Chains A and B, each alone.
Chain A
Amino acid sequence: MNFYITYFIVAAGLFAFVGLFTMFGVYAERKVSAFIQNRLGPTETGKFGTLQVLADMIKMVQKELIIPAAADKVLFLAAPAIIFIAVYLGFAALPWAPGLVPANINIGLYYIFAIISIETLGILMAGWGSNNKYSILGAMRSAAQIISYEIPAGFALISVVMVAQTLNLQDIAMLQGILSPEKAKFFGFWDVSAIGGILSWNVFQAPHLLVAFVIYFIASLAESNRAPFDIPEAESELVAGFHTEFTGLQFALVFLAEYSMMFLVSMVGVILFLGAWNTPLPNIGSVTLASWTTGTAWGIIWILVKTLLLVGVQMWIRWTLPRLRVDQLMNLCWKVLTPLAFACMLISGIWRLWVM
């Protein structure tokens, strides 16, 4: 019975983490955007505006739940929950440290890929349920974009899987550091199994994975509907896209889903390409930095730091780049990213057979 209680506690803990991260993310986003646009951002509420998010949350909870008269009530109410649950379920398979993973599934990566695709359905549901032209246009754009960008993202992921020979995220993480059961080779020629650190990360084990990482990162921006791929909620054209009609708690759920999606895709990228919970510090002779900084607590710290850095890059990109047009977006996906991702997959096969 304890077995099940542990699972419930883990699930609740993950939920709490997602909530905390969203609060932090909203505050960070405001401060980052303010810095980039040479403003101050929130300053009034609390020291440096730290209580701003809390105040926003209290405001959000108090708001009236408005259901448009012409809306499909059931779909309208269910949509935000489905969008959030789809993203939240994905967290179940992510490893946090050596031996610390909520659910050690042998097809973890495939599972996450599948679960993320459910979000599309929730967005379409929100768009249709609102019975509003802006909402439905936003939902259609979002679905078209997510489906298209799943292809280069999928092939970038497959090129990692072909090198790692497993779909288990914990095993993929294990292969990129000093705990690796196989030999880790820097650029395919220098055995760094004992040295570890940044040299044994996937992007440095096989250089073409660096390209795959960039492809995955661009595609993940599109999948979480972030700028420069935010045409689903283009403020200047569509008011707010598929979540135009949502108020109060429902809007909060959509927001929670967006920020947890950012964290989820960044964490998947970190696990697959940037060494997961492995330390970036290598062993140098008798100064065994890598061995000192590997462990459960260290693992959590490293993966959090790396993921937050990637989230930071996402925010940086959002506030610096202009929005892409639909045709530019599709051109980028089908004519640039997809062929490149195919090439990465091909090189992965050759790499595994002849170099590793």
Chain B
Amino acid sequence: MNLVQILFYLMAFITLGSALVVAISQNLVRSIFMFFVTLFGLAGLYVLALADFVAVTQIVIYVGGILVLILFAFMLSGKEALATAEQQTNRFISLNNLPAFLLAALFLVVMLNVVFKADLNNLQWVKAAIETKNVVPVDGTGINSIGVNLMTRYLLPFEAISVLLMIALVGAAHLSRKEAIKT
């Protein structure tokens, strides 16, 4: 086992362990902060997969943005709402948990199917890409090809996402604006 493998298992353990704590913990704030550890572990896994740009983007967007937003929403909501959420009876099998249980079980089946059906060592498209030399070398130019591809091949989805975000922004501004008092 070389160092990369050790690091991979370490990161995977941190990610899975903290994710479990997030799901199990009774204390909502602590589970949000544990989620931070999960995201960090995931970023580490991305680095090990040589996707450094994705790793840093993960930290910028999830840790710097989304987690802080979740915390804001949490801190601005009332104590009563939080208390009811925390004082739910937590039996493993109950009618409340049935939809969640079903969804999780079905998702597990899908994931297991993917893992066992996909023959990871000889995928068709990976082999084809290697044969036609359509691969990105690992030499620190990954970010250049990401930029070029975003501005050429994937320009339409990129612009569509920006329009979507714009719509969300306009909607948020409209919702938070005070209504003019009608006379």
Interface residue ranges, A against B (CB under 8 Å): 72, 74-75, 78, 105-107, 110-111, 113-115, 117-118, 120-121, 124-125, 128, 136, 140, 143, 147, 150, 167-168
A114-B53 contact, Cβ under 8 Å, with A120-B68, A140-B72, A147-B68: no
A121 and B53 form a contact (CB under 8 A) = no
Hey, which chain A residues are within 8 Å of B64, CB to CB? 114, 117-118, 120-121, 147, 150
Q: How far is the CA of A74 from the CA of B140 in the complex (A)?
A: 39
A107-B30 contact, Cβ under 8 Å, with A113-B60, A121-B63: no
Hey, which chain B residues are within 8 Å of A118, CB to CB? 59, 63-64
Interface residue ranges, B against A (CB under 8 Å): 27, 29-30, 33, 36, 52-53, 56-57, 59-60, 63-65, 67-68, 71-72, 75, 140-143
Q: Report the minimum CB–CB distance from B10 to chain A (whole Å).
A: 16
Hey, which chain B residues are within 8 Å of A72, CB to CB? 27, 29-30
Hey, which chain B residues are within 8 Å of A124, CB to CB? 68, 71, 75
B75 and A117 form a contact (CB under 8 A) = no
Hey, which chain B residues are within 8 Å of A125, CB to CB? 33
Task: Tell me what chain A mostly uses at the interface: helix, strand, loop, or mixed.
Answer: helix
Sorted nearest first, the 10 A-B pairs with minimum C-beta distance are A117-B64, A106-B140, A114-B59, A114-B60, A114-B56, A124-B71, A110-B56, A111-B56, A120-B68, A143-B68
Q: How far is the CA of A168 from the CA of B68 in the complex (A)?
A: 28
B68 and A121 form a contact (CB under 8 A) = yes
B33 and A75 form a contact (CB under 8 A) = yes
Q: How far is the CA of A248 from the CA of B71 in the complex (A)?
A: 27
Q: How far is the CA of A140 from the CA of B57 in the complex (A)?
A: 24
B52 and A105 form a contact (CB under 8 A) = yes
> Can you identify 14 A-B contacts, CB atoms within 8 angstroms?
A72-B29, A105-B52, A107-B52, A110-B53, A110-B56, A117-B64, A120-B68, A121-B63, A121-B71, A124-B68, A124-B75, A136-B75, A147-B65, A168-B140
A106-B143 contact, Cβ under 8 Å, with A115-B59, A143-B68: yes
Hey, which chain A residues are within 8 Å of B53, CB to CB? 107, 110
Hey, which chain B residues are within 8 Å of A117, CB to CB? 59-60, 63-65
B143 and A121 form a contact (CB under 8 A) = no
Q: Report the minimum CB–CB distance from B17 to chain A (whole Å).
A: 15
Q: Report the minimum CB–CB distance from B165 to chain A (whole Å).
A: 14
Hey, which chain A residues are within 8 Å of B68, CB to CB? 120-121, 124, 143, 147
Q: How far is the CA of A114 from the CA of B29 in the complex (A)?
A: 22
Q: How far is the CA of A107 from the CA of B71 in the complex (A)?
A: 28
Q: Report the minimum CB–CB distance from B124 to chain A (whole Å).
A: 31
Q: Report the minimum CB–CB distance from B47 to chain A (whole Å).
A: 10
Hey, which chain B residues are within 8 Å of A113, CB to CB? 60
Q: How far is the CA of A38 from the CA of B53 in the complex (A)?
A: 50
Q: Max chain A CB contacts within 10 Å: which of B33, B36, B72, B75?
A: B33
Hey, which chain B residues are within 8 Å of A120, CB to CB? 64, 68
A128-B75 contact, Cβ under 8 Å, with A107-B53, A114-B56: yes
> Chain A residue with minimal CB distance to B27?
A72
> Chain A residue with minimal CB distance to B52?
A107
Q: Report the minimum CB–CB distance from A345 to chain B (whole Å).
A: 15
Q: A72-B30, A75-B30, A136-B75 are in contact. List 12 more A-B contacts (CB 8 A).
A: A106-B52, A110-B53, A117-B60, A117-B64, A118-B64, A121-B36, A121-B68, A121-B71, A124-B75, A128-B71, A143-B68, A150-B64
Q: How far is the CA of A114 from the CA of B53 in the complex (A)?
A: 11
Hey, which chain B residues are within 8 Å of A110, CB to CB? 53, 56, 60
Instruction: Choose one: B56, B72, B140, B142; the contact of A143 (CB below 8 Å).
Output: B72
Q: Report the minimum CB–CB distance from B75 to chain A (whole Å).
A: 6
Q: Max chain A CB contacts within 10 Å: which of B29, B68, B72?
A: B68
Q: Report the minimum CB–CB distance from B40 to chain A (whole Å).
A: 9
Q: How far is the CA of A82 from the CA of B72 in the complex (A)?
A: 19
> Chain B residue with minimal CB distance to A154?
B60
Q: Max chain B CB contacts within 10 Å: which of A110, A136, A168?
A: A110
Q: How far is the CA of A44 from the CA of B51 in the complex (A)?
A: 55
Q: How far is the CA of A120 from the CA of B63 in the complex (A)?
A: 9
A75 and B29 form a contact (CB under 8 A) = yes
Hey, which chain A residues are within 8 Å of B72, CB to CB? 140, 143
B30 and A74 form a contact (CB under 8 A) = yes
Q: Report the minimum CB–CB distance from A24 to chain B (whole Å).
A: 30
Q: How far is the CA of A168 from the CA of B52 in the complex (A)?
A: 13
B56 and A107 form a contact (CB under 8 A) = yes
Hey, which chain B residues are within 8 Å of A114, CB to CB? 56-57, 59-60, 63-64
Q: Report the minimum CB–CB distance from A108 to chain B (whole Å).
A: 10
Q: Report the minimum CB–CB distance from A118 to chain B (whole Å).
A: 6
Hey, which chain A residues are within 8 Å of B63, CB to CB? 114, 117-118, 121
Hey, which chain B residues are within 8 Å of A78, CB to CB? 33
Hey, which chain B residues are within 8 Å of A143, CB to CB? 68, 71-72
> Chain A residue with minimal CB distance to B59?
A114
